[in-house]
Amino acid sequence: MAGYRSAWLVGALTAGALGLRALYLTSFEIENPFRSDAADYARYAANLLEHGVYSRSGPEVPSPIPDAFRPPGYPLFLAVCLWLAGDSALFWIYALQALLSAALVPLTLAAGRQWLPSWAAWLAAALVALSPHLISFTGYLLSEVLFAFLLLLGLLAYQRALAQRRARTLFAAGTLLGASALVNSAALPIAALAAAALLVGRPSPRTSASAWVRHPDRMGVAAILLGAALFPAIWALRNTQLPPGSRSGSDRLLATAIHGSYPGFVYRDPRLRYYAYREDPRFREMLRSYSDFARVLGERVRERPLRFLSWYALEKPITLWTWDMLQGVEDVYVYPLSRYGFAEQPMLDAIRIAMKRLHPVVLLLAMLGIPLLAARPRPLGEHPVEGPMPRVLLLLFGYWTVLYTLTAPWPRYAIPLRPELYLWVAFASSRLASLIQARRAAAGIAAA
């Protein structure tokens, strides 16, 4: 009976999440869905269907030149929607993204119930259901929702595979993580982080190199890494056949690093905040190569060392995890809209306001989770076995923060990690509750 009740609650929460996303999509209207990054994705999808070529060339180019500037996952998703739905594709893209966004709710709950107290797993799932960012991103032709779904699905598969400790299930989990890297190339090392967390979790009794080679989880680690390499290896093999001069993901990474190199996102004119490269006379020079960028950046750091130290060591990590999108119209919106979905619906706007006010608390709990992971208070009741998931999440957040601190810390890039962030916050909350209970119990025993 309890199982039926739990299934009903999961269904109700997921349906509620889908309802919020549907309400938003019926209340918003975007001025131009095909702009900036979204325009690139749309051009890739159109060229795949019309020419069979993966290229970001515009319609003015009769014979598109293949490139690898953006990974292929999201353009393939758009191309399939265009192929199946034709003129009504935009509606179905938004609808599918709403389904994927709502599916994050049961996936979060399933992931959390493996290593969190039940109430904490439900807390994380509820935060995912109410997340205004995960709601609003269903209405953009951007990769964040699809990436969030594949990443969480891969981590859940990894978590489930650990219970079986079979190479084929760990290989499948690695394959899902590798598939997420075809949507966002930044995800490529995540499988290696998951493997590292597995090794740290069950160290060999001896510390020599040969002992690590005989580690009990060595086959599982190899299976994860091989699975994760499958799709990226196919993509890399394709890219070896590109014509000379084709733009690659390395070019995009360099451009992103340059965009994030301006302290406060300003070169000189504050009116060009977030678009500082437009007035920088040395922008094209830096775009030539990583060595040119490093040389120019080094000159500027020597001129203002304290300002750049503050920017890279403090301001950029904080910026990545802030609420506002900074570019566009800020708040939870990336591109300008004709009708702002949250403002159109009082219930949605109340959720947006409440979650925005809660966000500083979420970030504070996330920071507290780091020392609380090391505290390991004695459980007062029956707690789930945590396994490597807290370590995986901590490594994931650390890697993501360092990567976008070195490049451009647009808060949009942290949106796909909202489910993992809320799981981590639920973990920190449960660990804090256990610590408080343990101290109260110790004080009661002392008083007695």
pLDDT digits over 286-327, tens only?
Answer: 999 999 999 999 999 999 999 999 999 999 999 999 999 987
Positions in the chain short of pLDDT 70: 1-5, 200-218, 328, 375-386, 441-448
Residue type, 167: A
Please say whether the beta carbons of 187 and 241 come within 8 A: no
What is the structure's pLDDT at 382? 38
Q: What are the structural domain ranges in the chain?
A: 2-440
What is the structure's pLDDT at 14? 96
343: three-class secondary structure by DSSP: helix
Could you tell me how many residues make up the chain? Answer: 448
What is the structure's pLDDT at 386? 62
CB-neighbour burial class of residue 312 (10 A; exposed 0-12, middle 13-18, buried 19+)? middle
Global pTM value: 0.92
Residue 323's contacts (CB-CB under 8 Å, 6 or more residues apart) are: 331, 332, 356, 359, 411
What is the structure's pLDDT at 439? 73
| Neighbour count for residue 252 (Cβ, 10 Å) | 17
Residue 41's contacts (CB-CB under 8 Å, 6 or more residues apart) are: 70, 74, 75, 78, 141, 142, 143
DSSP state of 31: S
For residue 130, give both structure tokens: 């109410």
CB-neighbour burial class of residue 181 (10 A; exposed 0-12, middle 13-18, buried 19+)? buried
Q: What is the rounded distance in angstroms from the CA atom of residue 424 to the CA atom of residue 373?
A: 10
What is the structure's pLDDT at 410? 95
Please say whether the beta carbons of 16 and 348 come within 8 A: no
For residue 87, give both structure tokens: 């003129």
List Cα–Cα distances, 237 to 229, 230, 439, in angstroms: 12, 11, 57
Q: Which residues face 29 on adjacent strands?
A: 339
Instruction: Enumerate helices (H) and strands (E) in the chain, giving the number of each.
Output: 20, 2
Q: What is the rounded distance in angstroms from the CA atom of residue 431 to the CA atom of residue 238?
A: 47
Please say whether the beta carbons of 186 and 400 come within 8 A: yes
Q: Closest by alpha carbon to 56, among 232, 249, 288?
A: 249
